[in-house]
């Protein structure tokens, strides 16, 4: 994500890190003069600003809010950055619409998320109802256009991780917060029998695939249409 900014000639005054998660570097170092706004739905995930930072007039801010209802004015940021957050939404279109609203003219949206081949091995072993579905790259591009953003560019890469056994894979997913929040997920305890079937289906040397989708789009300059009528004689 950060490397992709090397090809963008943009000097933002305000950057929105949408779905920021825990504090991580990169944006502040690249744009030292910009105000960086970390936004996340989870308050414990957000960075804590100490008293000394506030007294020194730090340009780092933390806001607890929803990606689909941003508490910012129209055209208030020049860069919206969303790294691995959109796949937590059922429908990213609402977030894209909000991103466009808060972007200034000629502002940039850049994001990464997960595509439909993510965790395909686990989905096959556990059943589709137990694993999240993810939005296709081409559908995300259509959503960018539907939200009113311009010149969308989409691409992806596949990452594959190999594990020594099923327990290590499942532990890794739990530690990374990848638990099912599907509305239609089974609510009862799965039991030891399901766990044994799942481990057998995953195999002795299980793999986990992640389809990482990247996208960016711009908010074009607003153009007013002026109608000129010739007078009738």
How far apart CA 128 and CA 209 sit, in angstroms, is 15
Beta-carbon contacts of residue 126 (< 8 Å; ≥ 6 apart): 198, 201
User: How high is the pLDDT of residue 223?
Assistant: 46
Alpha-carbon dihedral sign for residues 78, 99, 5, 29: positive
- The helix/strand/coil state of 37 is strand
The pLDDT profile of the chain, 233 residues, written as one tens digit per residue, is: 888 888 888 899 999 999 998 777 789 899 999 999 999 998 888 877 654 445 445 578 899 999 999 999 999 999 999 999 999 898 899 999 999 999 999 999 999 999 999 999 999 998 888 888 899 999 999 999 999 999 999 999 999 999 999 999 999 988 887 777 777 776 666 778 888 998 999 999 999 999 999 999 999 876 444 444 444 44
What are the φ and ψ backbone dihedral angles of 42, each rounded to 5 degrees?
Answer: -100, 115
Domains of the chain: 3-218 (3.40.50.150)
How far apart CA 208 and CA 230 sit, in angstroms, is 67
Q: In what order do the strands lie in the sheet with 103-114?
A: 60-64, 35-40, 14-18, 77-83, 103-114, 207-218, 150-162
Question: Which DSSP helix (H) or strand (E) runs through 173?
Answer: helix 166-175
With b for 16 or more beta-carbon neighbours within 10 A and e for fewer, the 38-49 pattern comes to bbbeeeebbbee
103, β-bridge pairs: 77
Question: Which DSSP helix (H) or strand (E) runs through 158?
Answer: strand 150-162
- Asked if residues 182 and 132 have their Cβ atoms less than 8 Å apart, the reply is yes
pTM over 0.75: yes
């Amino acid at each position: 994500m950060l490397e992709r900014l090397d090809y963008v000639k943009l000097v933002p005054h305000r950057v929105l890190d949408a779905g920021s998660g825990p504090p991580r570097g990169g944006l502040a170092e690249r744009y030292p003069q910009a105000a960086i706004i970390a936004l996340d739905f989870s308050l414990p995930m957000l960075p804590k600003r100490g008293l000394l930072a506030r007294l020194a007039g730090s340009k780092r801010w933390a806001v607890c809010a929803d990606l689909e209802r941003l508490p910012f004015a129209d055209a208030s940021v020049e860069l919206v950055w969303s790294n691995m957050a959109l796949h937590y939404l059922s429908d990213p279109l609402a977030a894209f619409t909000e991103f466009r609203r808060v972007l200034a003219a000629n502002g940039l949206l850049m994001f990464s998320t997960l595509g439909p081949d993510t965790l395909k091995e686990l989905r096959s072993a556990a059943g589709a109802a137990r694993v999240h579905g993810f939005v296709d790259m081409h559908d995300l591009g259509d959503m960018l256009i539907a939200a009113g953003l311009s010149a969308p560019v989409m691409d992806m890469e596949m990452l594959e991780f190999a594990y020594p056994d099923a327990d290590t894979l499942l532990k890794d997913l739990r530690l990374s917060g990848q638990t099912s929040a599907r509305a239609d997920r089974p609510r009862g305890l799965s039991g030891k029998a399901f766990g044994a079937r799942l481990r057998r289906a995953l195999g002795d040397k299980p793999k986990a695939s992640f389809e990482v989708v990247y996208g960016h789009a711009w908010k074009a300059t607003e153009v007013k249409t002026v109608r000129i009528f010739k007078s009738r004689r």
